Amino acid sequence: QMQLAESGGGLVQAGGSLRLSCRRSESIFGGLTMAWYRQSPGKERELVASDSGHGDPEYSVSVKGRFTISRDISKRMTYLQMNELKPEDTAVYYCNAKTNIDRRLYWGRGIQVTVSS
């Protein structure tokens, strides 16, 4: 069972930056689509950014131009660089992996990001 572990969250002032990291425990034959989701209290979990490894990454409208997803395949790491943070970006952020061959889903435990105004 592959495991995902997020790090890099915390408290930041509006306008600041954070970089989230996601380390996965193993490589998967056929590759993975990596993604970041977030969930705020009382709201559904939403997709923030995804990267299939083929073509351009995709972003939600609310973060496009401010967040960047990237991967270091050799290190089994996925990152989310978050710039120009806003209070509405406050949420628990989850790393997600989906196997390209059979669409199995894996989730990290989540990490809190809090943006103060």
d(CA 108, CA 116): 24
Q: What per-residue confidence (pLDDT) applies to 30?
A: 77
pLDDT tens profile 58-67: 999 999 999 9
Strand partners, 7: 21
d(CA 51, CA 88): 23
User: Tokens 């995709």 sit at which residue?
Assistant: 58
d(CA 21, CA 59): 17
d(CA 56, CA 27): 21
- Is a pLDDT exceeding 80 seen at residue 49? yes
For residues 8 and 20, is the Cβ–Cβ distance under 8 A?
yes
Band (29; pLDDT cuts 50, 70, 90): confident
